[in-house]
Amino acid sequence: MIGPLIGTSFMARFSIDGVFCFMGAAALLLAFLAGGRSLTTPSPKHRERPFQILAPQAAPLAHDPFGASDDNPSSEAAGVAPEKS
């Protein structure tokens, strides 16, 4: 609420250059406040995980219920009748 009032007084006194200087000074002030806050605030305490990380594993495919994608598929596991000669 005070910013526009200060900005108009700067613009009346210093033209548009005053407004840009005011915006730059406000940004610099906020950057210093944020930097000071990050340096003075203690970091959060590290807590141990309540879970375990599992190794990645290949899951069977939903559209492959008989295991046809295995390395050595058998015709019987895939539901295919053996050929007669």
Cβ 10 vs Cβ 22: under 8 Å: yes
Which are the contacts of 67, defined by CB distance < 8 A and separation ≥ 6?
A: 60, 73, 77, 78
83: pLDDT confidence band, cut at 50, 70 and 90? low
The predicted model scores a pTM of 0.45
Distance of alpha carbon 22 from alpha carbon 77, whole angstroms: 77
Distance of alpha carbon 42 from alpha carbon 44, whole angstroms: 6
Rounded to an integer, the average pLDDT of 22-30 is: 91
Domain boundaries defined on the chain: 16-41
**pLDDT exceeds cutoff 70 at 76:** no
**pLDDT exceeds cutoff 70 at 80:** no
Query: Within a 10 A sphere around the Cβ of 62, how many other Cβ atoms?
Result: 6
Report pLDDT for 29. 96
DSSP symbol at 78: T
69: pLDDT confidence band, cut at 50, 70 and 90? low
